[in-house]
């Protein structure tokens, strides 16, 4: 197995003992990607030149001040192609941005680079992060490393798949309504979505600005905490970035779950959940109980409204955010003597079917005749959903439930958009309330991974890590690697 089948922690140790070097890790990652990516298609571009420069810089940092160097120093990372990196093509998996080279690097990514991270490439995703299966990429779908005929989940499917395949120890994804946790669950890795406002969105191509957050996909909960600690924190360039001080997520890992009260939301175990997924998650709850947590059933009665509320708010925001792709400023332009025709033809050729569907839904919901009936109503329901979580968190410290109603499905299986939207039924309400959450591997069904979801109150991100880490350390699901991780690079 390539050494990149290891965790960040393990590699950081090896870099310090001299067992490996940033250049060796980079070469191994690139070789592994070369060996598996024709099947997985996790990458839209590779950034070898940038990576070589960064690996050499990291080697210097490790040599000059090994004790001060970040645990991420010298370790390869892949970035979802919605994250801007200066002068590196960034497409959001859309034809409309083909050839776009951002003039700057976003804050979260810059913080990784400052810590000595080595960027191997930009990962495939659903177009503008709209989707749950990664089949909406304009440049072709991503295969799940556990079975390449199946989807890896979405929209951060490429980021999840490359970690699950064993090519890199971690990747960044973005999450609007499930796009980190759901693919993490379907590919058997850890995926963490921070509290809204914790990680700067500066340099993240916007889908729905009041929901979007950047977060890590990793092979262990501790690694997710390490990456989060590096990218989180106030950024004056993002007006929704929160100035509150950060609890140290890595220290919290050691606290364990003894004495914690964990809520089990009744509605998240309803009829839409595959019984085998439910059984795996119930088994995980028994593990948490054995570790000293108490479990208690709770109710979130407006769960049902989460999906419809999200599918008003997210398209409304996307219709506004995507108005900027008009052929004038970025990427694609389809020339026409008439300016209006040029706009229309650029957008027609540049956007895929799902993006167009959302722009139309959103424009409709925001139009003057329907604004009150749809958009304003959805915002009110969003407040009710958030209040419901606040009430439940008076009685419990965190919630545990499935991440996804099913394991990875076959490509092409869910053509009907509604059945695709159902993929996020258990992650969406959490997003509407801006809460932090994680998915951690908790079993397999017919060789396909299942994820346990842990949710905490806003700004209690450290608590999410604490529960997930305690569970992970008591089980060995996270140590089981996908068949592609064994492919010799
Ligand atoms: N699957 C959801 C959607 O299609 C969420 C996507 C996301 O979180 N970016 O909108």
SS3 of 99-139? CCCCCCCCHHHHHHHHCCCEEEEEECCCHHHCCCCCCCCCC
Q: Which residue's entry shows tokens 């989940």?
A: 153
What pLDDT, on the 0 to 100 scale, is given for residue 3?
A: 61
Query: Is the CB of 317 inside a 6 Å radius of any atom of ligand 1?
Result: no
CA 201 and chain centroid, separation: 13
Distance from residue 355's CA to the centre of ligand 1 (Å): 11
Distance from residue 139's CA to the centre of ligand 1 (Å): 18
Q: How far is residue 233's CA from residue 157's CA, in Å, rounded to a whole number?
A: 26
Q: Which of 137, 179, 200, 241 does the annotation list as catalytic?
A: 179
482 catalytic per annotation: no
What pLDDT, on the 0 to 100 scale, is given for residue 429?
A: 79
271 catalytic per annotation: no
Q: How far is residue 104's CA from residue 308's CA, in Å, rounded to a whole number?
A: 36
The CA–CA distances, whole Å, from 299 to 263, 267, 269, 293 equal: 9, 7, 11, 19
Q: Classify residue 240 by burial, with Cβ atoms within 10 Å: 0-12, 13-18, 19+.
A: middle
Half-sphere exposure of 119 (CA within 13 A, CB side): 26
3-class state of residue 352 by DSSP: coil
Query: Is the CB of 128 inside a 6 Å radius of any atom of ligand 1?
Result: no
Query: Is the CB of 424 inside a 6 Å radius of any atom of ligand 1?
Result: yes
80 catalytic per annotation: yes
The CA–CA distances, whole Å, from 220 to 43, 90, 477 equal: 22, 28, 10
Distance from residue 375's CA to the centre of ligand 1 (Å): 18
Residue located nearest, by CA, to atom 4 of ligand 1: 131
3-class state of residue 214 by DSSP: strand
Query: Is the CB of 175 inside a 6 Å radius of any atom of ligand 1?
Result: yes
Q: Identify the DSSP state of 274.
A: -
Residue from 126, 155, 211, 431 to probe ligand 1 pocket by mutation (most atoms less than 8 Å from CB): 155
Query: Is the CB of 155 inside a 6 Å radius of any atom of ligand 1?
Result: yes
Beta carbons of 120 and 77 less than 8 angstroms apart: yes
What pLDDT, on the 0 to 100 scale, is given for residue 1?
A: 45
Q: Which atom of ligand 1 is nearest to the CA of 311?
A: 10
User: Cβ neighbours of residue 248 under 8 Å, at least 6 residues apart?
Assistant: 229, 462
Q: Mean pLDDT by 10-residue block, N- to C-terminus, for the chain (489 residues)?
A: 78 96 97 97 98 98 93 98 98 96 98 98 98 96 98 97 97 96 98 97 97 97 98 97 91 94 93 91 98 97 91 96 94 95 97 97 94 95 95 97 95 83 78 93 98 97 97 95 83
Q: Classify residue 173 by burial, with Cβ atoms within 10 Å: 0-12, 13-18, 19+.
A: buried
Q: Which atom of ligand 1 is nearest to the CA of 156?
A: 9
By DSSP bridging, strand 294-298 and strand 398-402 are: unpaired
Tokens of 136: 């909406």
Query: Is the CB of 362 inside a 6 Å radius of any atom of ligand 1?
Result: no
Query: Is the CB of 176 inside a 6 Å radius of any atom of ligand 1?
Result: yes
């Amino acid at each position: 197995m390539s050494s990149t089948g290891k965790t960040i922690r393990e590699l950081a140790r090896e870099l310090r003992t001299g067992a490996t070097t940033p250049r060796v890790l980079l070469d191994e990652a690139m070789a592994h990607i070369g060996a598996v990516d024709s099947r997985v298609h996790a990458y839209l571009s590779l950034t070898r030149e940038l990576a070589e420069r960064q690996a050499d810089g990291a080697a210097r940092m490790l040599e000059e001040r090994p004790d001060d160097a970040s645990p991420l120093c010298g370790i390869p990372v892949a970035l979802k192609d919605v994250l801007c990196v200066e002068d590196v093509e960034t497409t959001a998996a859309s034809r409309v941005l083909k050839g776009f080279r951002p003039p700057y690097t976003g804050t979260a990514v810059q913080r990784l680079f400052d810590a000595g991270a080595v960027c191997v490439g930009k990962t495939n995703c659903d177009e503008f992060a709209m989707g749950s299966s990664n089949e909406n990429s304009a440049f072709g779908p991503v295969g799940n490393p556990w079975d390449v005929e199946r989807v890896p989940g979405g929209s951060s499917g490429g980021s999840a798949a490359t970690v699950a395949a064993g090519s890199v120890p971690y990747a960044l994804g973005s999450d609007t309504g499930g796009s980190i946790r759901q693919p993490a669950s379907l590919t058997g890795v850890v995926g963490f979505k921070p509290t809204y406002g914790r990680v700067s969105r500066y340099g993240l191509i916007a889908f729905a600005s009041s929901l979007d957050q950047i977060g890590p996909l990793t092979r262990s909960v501790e690694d997710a905490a390490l990456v989060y600690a590096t990218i989180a924190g106030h950024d004056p360039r993002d007006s929704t970035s929160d100035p509150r001080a950060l609890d140290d997520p890595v220290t919290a890992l050691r606290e364990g779950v003894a004495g914690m009260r964990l809520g089990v939301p009744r509605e998240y175990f309803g009829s839409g959940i595959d019984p085998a997924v439910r059984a795996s998650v119930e088994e995980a709850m028994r593990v948490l109980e054995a570790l000293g947590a108490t479990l208690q059933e709770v109710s979130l009665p407006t769960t049902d409204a989460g999906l419809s509320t999200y599918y008003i708010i997210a398209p409304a925001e996307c219709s506004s955010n995507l108005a900027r792709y008009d052929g004038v400023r970025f990427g694609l332009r389809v020339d026409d003597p008439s300016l209006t025709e040029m706009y229309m033809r650029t957008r027609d050729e540049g956007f895929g079917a799902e993006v167009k569907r959302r722009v139309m839904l959103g424009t409709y919901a925001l139009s003057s005749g329907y604004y009150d009936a749809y958009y304003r109503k959805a915002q009110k329901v969003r407040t009710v959903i958030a209040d419901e979580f606040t009430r439940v968190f008076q009685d419990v410290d965190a919630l545990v439930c499935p991440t996804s109603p099913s394991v990875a499905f076959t490509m092409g299986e869910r053509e009907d958009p509604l059945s695709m939207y159902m993929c996020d039924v258990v992650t969406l309400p959490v997003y509407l309330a801006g809460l932090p959450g994680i998915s951690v591997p908790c079993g397999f069904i017919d060789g396909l991974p299942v994820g346990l979801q842990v949710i905490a109150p806003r700004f209690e991100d450290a608590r999410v890590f604490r529960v997930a880490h305690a569970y992970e350390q008591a089980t060995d699901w996270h140590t089981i690697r996908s068949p592609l991780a064994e492919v010799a690079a």
